[in-house]
Structure 1
Amino acid sequence: MTVLHQSQTDSETWRLRDHIPGSEKMAAASWSDRLLRLLQNLNNFQRGGCLPFCVQGRRVGWVCQSVARLLSQSFDVFTLHGDPATHLELSDHLRSPQERTQAVQEVMESLRHQDAFPCLREWRSEHYDVNSLFSDPPLLSMERAATPLLGVPRYGVHVNGYLHRGGEVFMWVARRALTKATYPGKLDHLAAGGISAGSGVWETLLKECKEEACIPESIAATATPCGTVSYAYEKGEEIYLECQFVFDLEVPQSFQPSVGDGEVEEFYLWPLEKVREAIATEEFKPNCALVVLDFLLRRGHVQPDTEKFYTRFVELLHAPL
């Protein structure tokens, strides 16, 4: 475990580009411009060119028309309605969540074996629940890697781990393991993870805190729920709708996280100003940068009188799903 404490005087203040690789090539644009560009990239989904995906008459996602046509070839599972097409629906003869789950799984496994879509190369054998609202009973569950094909929302938990020292706020930052399938080596939260099928928000928080950073439940349970951050973007024919449940966790000054399940390479303790600058570089995992920005806005570290994109930041952190 690597722990970096930054407590220099003003005359010894760190310079970002001395500590964060990749910051030089982004230095020409301002911090505000870089953050706005990131937010826009994660909110580029245009619903007008897509079709609703429905189960039992309820829209649960969005699907590109080309994907909808391909899926409708599995006519016993998916039905494409209208001419021109108006929506894709899971076939009515699939009555139970278990039947729907099995039928969709078989289609997605077939597409995976055909190497039909890039997202299926990230197969995890982990299921996410599919429903109209997060609090609704699931209509089915499906492989996490396949969810972008049907544009169903994916939910997760992110934990801002921070502390106060000498009148200054510090935040714990993790560096993702180089073996991670997505964003290897990028900066991440103290703990974060997707909410698997059948799991709850608090259950996931306690699990991720323990597994990723060895945070005891006595500390993790003191986290404060602070709303959500949501965003929606397209990548080719894949649609990503994501909602992160955000928690603030003030940890004791004596606390030090340690690597648990191997998903993290090391941890750093950085002054909040350094974290603020880092989220505008390519070193930070993009959705984690959004959650830190939300922390900065809520805690008054970004002010409406001085930040030109303040209202745009708030708007783009809460995209409709």
Structure 2
Amino acid sequence: MAVSAWSEDILRLLRRMNNFYLPGSGRAKCFRFEIDGTQVGWIPPHVASLLTRYPDVFSPPHGGAVSLHHRLDSAGKRSEAVDAVLTSWRGEGSLSCLTGWRDEKYNVMQKFSDPPLMWMERAATSLFGIKRYGVHVNGYTVSESGEVNMWLARRSPTKQTYPGLLDNVAAGGLAAGLGIKHTLVKECQEEACIPAALAEKAHPVTTISYTYEDEEGVFAESQFVFDLELPLQFKPRIGDGEVQDFYLLPIDKVKELLATDDFKPNSAMVVLDFLIRHSIIEPDREPFYQEFVMGLHQTL
């Protein structure tokens, strides 16, 4: 099988989204972030050096790990102490990721099924490499002749992250205290005006996981993916202003767009998974089929 330029572009996307695992990454220089001996993240060196200013909150790095002070022995105490540090940093304005402060808390735990050890402001999670979870919805239609089309959203130009890029029909982060299906229905209603009765028909199909690093920190993420077949006559509408437009495109056109810079990277991964699961990408015709599958399911 000949390798196409599209396949090479997709492979580069997956490597970029999983660059924390690649040789030469900053992983070897990061400190494990531990709470009660349990690793919950990765702290880059530039963040670890700042933590030494707060000995009542963070213990000095030891054995390649940074932990919280032993007196912080409950989720509430840990959350309050760390939030005070983050609020101080936000006021200083030296960490660019904190300009996107959302007043939205994420659970901090080793595994999704674990009770949270603390909660942390969403915008700060990359500073500690905290695993973040979200929900993404593939909204698609199937014609009477079997033709598959997919609804894509174009993000608002005022979005804090990836403004103006193509996205899934609905998606959102999983905030502390909110369930997966609840978040799905909420995001569908708020972003695309999909009624709850219709959104609730979405089927959970998989998760995708990846970890990448950039100048802001370490992004360890896992997305719960749902498929939602929408009625042929249904058209999403702009809701809360996070989207500027919706497009219904043939699946071959969607596939083509995945390899461009016009697509939000993790949402492109969600759609790539859809193409694999629906046999639009097949192993007899795609030489990087196994690499694609593995690249969608990297986990620490």
Letter in 2 for 1:80: P
2:157 corresponding residue in structure 1: 178
Mapping for residues 202-217 of structure 1, pairs under 5 Å: 202-217=181-196
Letter in 2 for 1:141: W
Mapping for residues 12-27 of structure 1, pairs under 5 Å: none
Unaligned runs of 5+ in 1: 1-28
In the alignment, structure 1 residue 119 sits paired with structure 2 residue 119: no
Cα deviations by residue, 1:113-168 (Å, 9 ceiling, x for unpaired): 22222211211111111111112111111111100011001100000001101321
In the alignment, structure 1 residue 146 sits paired with structure 2 residue 124: yes
8 Å CA contact 2:155–2:166 kept in 1: the answer is yes
1:302 corresponding residue in structure 2: 281
Unaligned runs of 5+ in 2: none
1:43 corresponding residue in structure 2: 18
8 Å CA contact 1:64–1:237 kept in 2: the answer is no
1:198 corresponding residue in structure 2: 177
224, 237, 240: which one aligns with 1:245: 224
Distance 1:183 1:69 in 2: 29
Distance 2:251 2:216 in 1: 37
8 Å CA contact 1:69–1:80 kept in 2: the answer is no
8 Å CA contact 1:79–1:88 kept in 2: the answer is yes
Cα deviations by residue, 1:215-242 (Å, 9 ceiling, x for unpaired): 1111111111011111101112511101
Root-mean-square deviation (Å):
1.2
1:236 corresponding residue in structure 2: 215
8 Å CA contact 1:67–1:237 kept in 2: the answer is no
Distance 2:146 2:34 in 1: 52
Letter in 1 for 2:282: Q
Letter in 2 for 1:77: V
2:9 corresponding residue in structure 1: 34
> In percent, how many aligned pairs have the same letter?
52
TM-score, normalised via structure 2 length: 0.94
Q: State the SS of the aligned residue for 1:281.
A: coil
Letter in 2 for 1:306: R
Moved over 2 A (4+): 46-49
2:205 corresponding residue in structure 1: 226
8 Å CA contact 1:67–1:149 kept in 2: the answer is yes
Size of the aligned set, in residue pairs, is 291
Letter in 2 for 1:292: V
Distance 1:116 1:76 in 2: 22
Q: CA offset at residue 49 of structure 1?
A: 2.3
In the alignment, structure 1 residue 93 sits paired with structure 2 residue 71: yes
1:273 corresponding residue in structure 2: 252
Distance 2:117 2:125 in 1: 14
Distance 1:291 1:232 in 2: 15
Q: CA offset at residue 255 of structure 1?
A: 1.1
8 Å CA contact 2:97–2:216 kept in 1: the answer is no
1:65 corresponding residue in structure 2: 45
Mapping for residues 72-87 of structure 1, pairs under 5 Å: 72-82=52-62, 85-87=63-65
Mapping for residues 100-111 of structure 1, pairs under 5 Å: 100-111=78-89
In the alignment, structure 1 residue 285 sits paired with structure 2 residue 260: no
Distance 2:47 2:165 in 1: 31
Letter in 2 for 1:189: N
8 Å CA contact 1:112–1:120 kept in 2: the answer is yes
1:159 corresponding residue in structure 2: 137
Q: State the SS of the aligned residue for 2:85.
A: helix
